[in-house]
């Protein structure tokens, strides 16, 4: 949780405060980018772009919104834009790699899904469903915080999240069956 005083200092032109603020949020920014994009390099690029945007637009942040939801809105927007550009090539490659690397799946199935499977299953979700899941599980955001971040109605956030979980279950069950049979 970023201190409100630090944000105010950054907004009043304190460059050191602003840099400190960016250091505090950079891992949160990166994590969202990483799970939305499912690619380390893209995540670095997107996170840096988001941090620069936060640096230049810190003055437009208003305190009536939570700072963390303001930050997450910036990063998810950048990621979704970026992801849409890269999706066709990246997702297919990643998908095939997952299937090829499933040798030890029988043993792993008993203890649960592979983290890798989960990541690639998340990647299969539509943009907003994916963003909702990432904010819920990687940022521990509440429905309201997700709604603020993505500028979506609360009920929409709930239904996206519920459907996203169901879809993930189906996808992961498919991966498991595919792994066993293959």
Partner 1 sequence: MKCPEAVEWMHRYLDHDLNEEETSLLFEHMRSCEECAETFALLRKLSAQLEDLPKVVPNYSLVDAILPQLDEIDRARREGGSAAEEIVLPMTAVQRDADAGQGGMLPSRRSLRRPDAGTGMRRSRIYRYGALGVAAVLILGVFIYQYEPRTVSDAEIAMDTALESANKQSSATNSADDAASNAQLFSDDTNTGAPGAGDLDTPVSKDVVPPAEDPNTDGTQERIAPGDAPDSGSPAVTPGNSGTSDKSPSEPNQANHGSSGSPSVPNGGSNGAPAQGPTSPGAGNSDSAGDPETPDILENSIVDQQVTFDNPREKYGIASFNIWTSPDGAFEAEFKDGHLYVYRLEAQERKLVADQVIDGNWVDGSWSESGHIFTYETEIEGTPVIHTLYAEQAAADAAKRTQP
Q: What is the binding site for partner 1 (CB under 8 A)?
A: 11-15, 19, 22-23, 26-27, 29-31, 34-35, 40, 43-44, 47-48, 51-52, 55-60, 112-113, 115, 118-119, 133, 136-138, 142-143, 158, 161-162, 165, 168-169, 172
Complex with partner 1: residue 88 or 167, whichever CB lies closer: 167
67 close to 61: Cβ distance less than 8 angstroms: yes
Q: Residue 49 and residue 85: Cα distance in Å, rounded?
A: 15
The answer to whether 133 and 119 are in contact (CB under 8 A) is no
Shortest approach of partner 1 to residue 84 CB, angstroms? 22
CA distances from 126 to 15, 81, 159 (A): 38, 13, 13
Tell me whether residue 88 or residue 107 sits nearer to partner 1 (CB atom): 107
Token code pair at residue 62? 């208003």
Note whether 164 and 129 are within 8 A (CB): yes
Question: Which of 60/89 has CB closer to partner 1?
Answer: 60
- Provide the minimum distance between the beta carbon of 82 and partner 1 in the complex, in angstroms, as a whole number: 15
Closest CB to partner 1 among residues 31, 128: 31
């Amino acid at each position: 949780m970023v201190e409100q005083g630090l944000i105010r200092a950054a907004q009043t032109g304190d460059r050191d405060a602003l840099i400190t603020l960016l250091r505090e949020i950079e891992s949160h920014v990166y994590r969202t980018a990483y799970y939305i994009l499912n690619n380390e390099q893209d995540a670095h690029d997107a996170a840096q772009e988001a941090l620069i945007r936060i640096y230049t637009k810190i003055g437009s942040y208003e305190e009536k919104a939570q700072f963390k939801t303001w930050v997450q809105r910036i990063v998810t927007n950048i990621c979704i834009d970026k992801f849409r550009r890269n999706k066709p090539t990246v997702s297919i490659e990643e998908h095939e790699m997952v299937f090829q690397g499933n040798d030890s799946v029988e043993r792993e199935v008993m203890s649960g899904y592979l983290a890798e499977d989960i990541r690639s299953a998340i990647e299969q979700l539509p943009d907003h469903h994916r963003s909702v899941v990432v904010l819920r599980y990687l940022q521990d955001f509440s429905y309201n915080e997700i709604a603020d971040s993505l500028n979506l109605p609360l009920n929409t956030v709930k239904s996206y999240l519920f459907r996203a979980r169901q879809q993930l279950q189906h996808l992961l069950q498919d991966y498991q069956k595919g792994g066993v049979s293959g």
